[in-house]
């Protein structure tokens, strides 16, 4: 099998000859897997206790054949030894932290990570005596200074949401390795099409597979990719905590990933064209897109990424009310809180934070910011729609 992303997206992780001669991997809708006799159980337990992954499926909270095919495909796309599938991106993040951290440990986390990841660090980790220090993504000296003898993990996100900041991964790994600290990255916005963090030496890559990997806004799933040794600890925690994906969601994800390369390349093209259009429009105050020279991390993104992604964030010349009127006048995108699907979705992100101005200000998200997650529609149609909406509010 070829090692290019487009080929792996179609074939990796799946058996060539599938049950019943089916072309697609079946949905194995079972919670329990039976044994022929006692001798088969004894052999199963013997091999399981000898180390490594179980030789076959036993119970749906531990593994499922459809799930295993998805894990194989994601591992191949990221260039990792193994992947684990979860019920959501947040389940992947929280289970990973529970597995790797203990009371008294310390985490260094980049400011600007997904707000629910930050919430978990603020609200839940302290209950187990785990501290978190947040550092700016562009201040690696501050990151190095924040590492303590008790630091066990550096967690970053690239690009971040919604300002699309990009971490210098080579320098991050250099700093963390000198101190013997594990590194993990939420690479949801990048996808393995645009960035493969394991190639830079990061230990773990996490995804909200709900987004680009699934690509059709019809499932919830998350994934962690890394070495078998490291993932063994996370897999054990998953089996105890139970944050597993359903066989049906695993099937939808398997189907969605077959077009990942095609979709992301189209979204990259749409993102760059829309960002360039918006940057030249008089009704736009500022555009945030790592493919533009005006972005603070443009040089890092150009060196590190093969594409700049399908999300463009921008600020309208005006206040919250005017920004809302602009979003309402858009005809092509839906209004909603997600991204990564074939349909374009726009949102005035501050409204999803809070209606309280003080809380919005504390979040760092401007009232006039629009996050536009581009789908696979024709770029000319998307730009024409943006143009008419902007003209209406001028």
Domain boundaries in the chain? 5-28+64-257, 260-393
Kindly write down the DSSP assignment for every residue of 266-324, as one continuous string.
HHHHHHHHHHHHHHT-TTEEEEE-TTSTTSTTHHHHHHH-SS--SEEEEEESS-HHHHH
d(Cα 360, Cα 342) in Å, to the nearest integer? 29
The whole-chain average pLDDT of the chain stands at 95
Largest CA distance in the chain: 77
What proportion of the chain, given as a percentage, has pLDDT over 70? 99
Dihedral pair phi/psi, residue 88, rounded to 5°: -165, 170
User: Residue 49's pLDDT band (boundaries 50, 70, 90)?
Assistant: confident
CA dihedral 208, 155, 357, 336 (to 10 degrees): -10
d(Cα 27, Cα 41) in Å, to the nearest integer? 25
Token code pair at residue 327? 């979003």
User: Residue 351's pLDDT band (boundaries 50, 70, 90)?
Assistant: confident
Q: Which class for 103: exposed (0-12), middle (13-18), buried (19 or more C-beta within 10 A)?
A: exposed
3-state secondary structure 170-197: HHHHHHHHHHCCEEEEECCCCHHHHCCH
226 neighbors 80 (Cβ within 8 angstroms):
yes
Statement: the pTM of the whole predicted model exceeds 0.85: yes
CATH 3.90.1150.10 for the 260-393 domain, yes or no: yes
**Interval 85-141: pLDDT, tens:** 999 999 999 999 999 999 999 999 999 999 999 999 999 999 999 999 999 999 999
Catalytic center residues:
61, 114, 186, 211
CATH number of 5-28+64-257: 3.40.640.10
**Interval 320-346: pLDDT, tens:** 999 999 999 999 999 999 999 999 999
Rounded mean pLDDT, 367-377: 97
d(Cα 30, Cα 60) in Å, to the nearest integer? 7
State which H helix or E strand residue 84 sits in: strand 82-86
**Interval 194-218: pLDDT, tens:** 999 999 999 999 999 999 999 999 9
Q: How many CB atoms lie within 10 A of CB 385?
A: 17
**Interval 229-277: pLDDT, tens:** 999 999 999 999 999 999 999 999 999 999 999 999 999 999 999 999 9
Q: Kindly report the length of the chain.
A: 394
């Amino acid at each position: 099998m070829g090692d290019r992303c487009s080929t792996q997206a179609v074939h990796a992780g799946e058996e060539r000859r599938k049950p019943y001669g089916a072309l697609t991997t079946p949905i194995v809708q079972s919670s329990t897997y039976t044994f022929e006799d006692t001798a088969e159980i004894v052999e199963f337990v013997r091999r399981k206790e000898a180390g490594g992954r179980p030789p076959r499926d036993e119970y749906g909270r531990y593994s499922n054949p459809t799930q295993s095919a998805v894990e194989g495909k994601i591992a191949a796309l990221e260039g990792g030894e193994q992947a684990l599938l979860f019920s959501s991106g947040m389940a992947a993040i929280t289970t990973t932290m529970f597995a790797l951290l203990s009371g008294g440990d310390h985490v260094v986390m980049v400011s600007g990570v997904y707000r629910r990841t930050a919430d978990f660090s603020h609200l839940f980790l302290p209950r187990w005596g785990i501290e978190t220090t947040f550092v700016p993504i562009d201040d690696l000296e501050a990151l190095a200074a924040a590492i303590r003898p008790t630091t066990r993990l550096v967690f970053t996100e690239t690009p971040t949401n919604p300002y699309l900041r990009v971490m210098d991964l080579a320098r991050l790994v250099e700093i963390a390795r000198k101190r013997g600290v594990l590194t993990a990255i939420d690479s949801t916005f990048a996808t393995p099409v645009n960035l493969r963090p394991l190639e830079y030496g990061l230990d773990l890559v996490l995804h909200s597979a709900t987004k680009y990997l699934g690509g059709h806004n019809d499932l919830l799933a998350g994934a962690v990719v890394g070495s078998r040794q490291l993932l063994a600890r996370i897999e054990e925690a998953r089996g105890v905590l139970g944050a597993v994906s359903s066989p049906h969601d695993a099937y939808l994800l398997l189907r969605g990933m077959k077009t990942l390369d095609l979709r992301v390349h189209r979204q990259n093209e749409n993102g760059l064209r829309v960002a360039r259009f918006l940057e030249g429009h008089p009704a736009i105050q500022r555009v945030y897109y790592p493919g533009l020279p005006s972005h603070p991390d443009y040089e890092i993104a150009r060196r590190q990424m093969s594409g700049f992604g399908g999300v463009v964030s921008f600020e309208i010349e005006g206040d919250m009310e005017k920004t809302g009127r602009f979003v309402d006048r858009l005809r092509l995108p839906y209004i909603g809180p997600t991204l990564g699907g074939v349909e374009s979705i726009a949102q005035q992100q501050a409204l999803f934070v809070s209606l309280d101005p003080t809380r919005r200000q504390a979040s760092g998200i401007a009232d006039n910011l629009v996050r536009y997650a581009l789908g696979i529609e024709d770029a000319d149609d998307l730009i024409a729609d943006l143009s008419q909406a902007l003209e209406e509010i001028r």
